[in-house]
Each structure stands twice: as C-alpha cells, then as structure tokens.
Amino acid sequence: MSKRVTIPTHIAIIMDGNGRWAKQRGKERYEGHLAGVKSVRTVVEAAARAGVKYLTLYAFSTENWGRPTAEVDAIMELFCRTVVGEGETLAAQGVRVKIMGERTRFSATVLEMIDRIETTTAAGDRLTLVLAFNYSSRREMVLAMQSLAERVAAGQMRAEDIDEEAVAASLMTNGIPDPDLIIRTSGECRLSNFLLWQASYAEFYFPEVLWPDFDERAFAEALEAYAGRDRRYGLVKDES
C-alpha cells in the first residue's frame, strides 16, 4: 500500500546558509540573516497559496546561544522587528503563528514579542506557522519524559499506558501533525536536533541553494520533488 499526496500538509525547514551567503558577498553574517527573513516571507506566502496547512521553520536552536553575542543579539532583534512589522499582515493572510521552544533565556522584550505575535495571529486558520525558537529536539523529548514520569509518580497514569500517542501529546508539537517534508537548504544533509521524533516518516529534501536564495521557484521545486516520492510507511508498494 502506498499513499501519494501531492501537497504536503506539513513542511518543516532548516533554514541554513545565511552566513555563507553573506560571506560570499563580503557582508556581515547579520546581512545574511536579514536576507533570510525575506525568504521567510516568500515561503510563508507560497506555502499558504499552495494549500500547505503547517509550516515549521527552525529559526534558532538551543545550540545557537553559543554563537557570538553580536550575532545572537542580531537574530533576536530581527525576530522582534519582524514580529512588529509583519504581525498584522500575517493575521490578514490567515496565518497563525506559534513559537515552539523553551521560554528560557529570552529577554523581556523577546518574550513580549512572542506573546504579541501569538495573540495577534491567534485566529488564523489558513496556515499555521511554527517558529522553532530556542528549540532542541532532545530537550523537547527530555521534558516530555519528565512530564510523563511525573504523571506516573502522581498516580495519574500507569507506566504501561505510555504509548506513542502519549509521548506525542507530551511534545511541543502536540496537536500538530508530523512533517511530511523536511527541507534543509545549503546542501547540508543532517537534522541538527530538529524534530527527531516527528521526522519518523518524513521525506527529506536537501537543495544546494542557500536560505536567502530560497525563492518561490526553489519552493516549487521542493513541492515537485515531494510529489514524485512514493511514501510507503514501512509497507509494500501497492501495485493495484
């Protein structure tokens, strides 16, 4: 049995290559991230138009705190500026924004912006845009395990009741379907602590293009590549 669905319900993207893009042009890394925000806009619009229901973007990993302070500050500032500048537009386009990650280490301003964008766009029902921000998949799983263990210890559930559904419901992606397609730009072929549980049956696509150059055409090519895949979910090919 195989399942052929041409438009993925959920696309997740590791936006990679901003730094290299800037370096190739003799610019600061910040300029690469700035150009990357433009690609975010393009892809959000293209995804909504194509009928994609969930788009998850890896905007800042827990490991990214280890980058030079100036770069971390620049990404935080870009995030805040984008929230202020795009919130109303996203709401008008029917895009609901959810921030996924631990709400630790953020400044009060960033926390306020997270609240603001989630509130402003709460009614969006065309596309859910999940921004992974201070996100780590292993950390997400550790937190899920802790919460399940606490429930068992409190007598609210039995250890043998912990099944895939219970684990999935304890993850930050609770309520969001698993990604059908995971894209990582810039030619790197790894997941880097992104959606490790959720990626079990995802299709992968690794274009060479750097994130700031990922335009509508590149997005269309990704959809085309996905449409050509044969998803079998561990079963055998349906010849009928």
59 binds ligand FPP (CB under 6 A): yes
Interacting residue with ligand FPP among 8, 11, 12, 18 (CB under 6 A): 18
| Least gap, CB of 137 to ligand FPP (angstroms) | 15
By CB under 6 A, the residues from 111 to 140 that bind ligand FPP are 131
What distance in Å separates the CA atoms of residue 49 and residue 39, rounded to the nearest whole number?
15
Q: Nearest 5 degrees, angle CA 12-CA 17-CA 18?
A: 105
From 78-86, 107-115, 120-128, 149-157, span contacting ligand FPP (CB under 6 A):
78-86
Is 16 tagged catalytic?
yes
Interacting residue with ligand FPP among 11, 46, 75, 130 (CB under 6 A): 75
CB 130 within 8 A of CB 162: no
What distance in Å separates the CA atoms of residue 26 and residue 17, rounded to the nearest whole number?
14
Interacting residue with ligand FPP among 33, 96, 98, 184 (CB under 6 A): 33
Q: How many residues bind ligand FPP (CB under 6 A)?
A: 18
90 binds ligand FPP (CB under 6 A): no
Is 64 tagged catalytic?
yes
Q: What DSSP state is assigned to residue 178?
A: P
Can you point out the beta strands (E) in the chain?
A: 10-14, 54-61, 95-100, 127-135, 181-184, 203-205
**Residue facing ligand FPP at closest CB distance:** 19
Nearest to 126 by CA among 46, 211, 14: 46
Identity of residue 232: R
27 binds ligand FPP (CB under 6 A): no
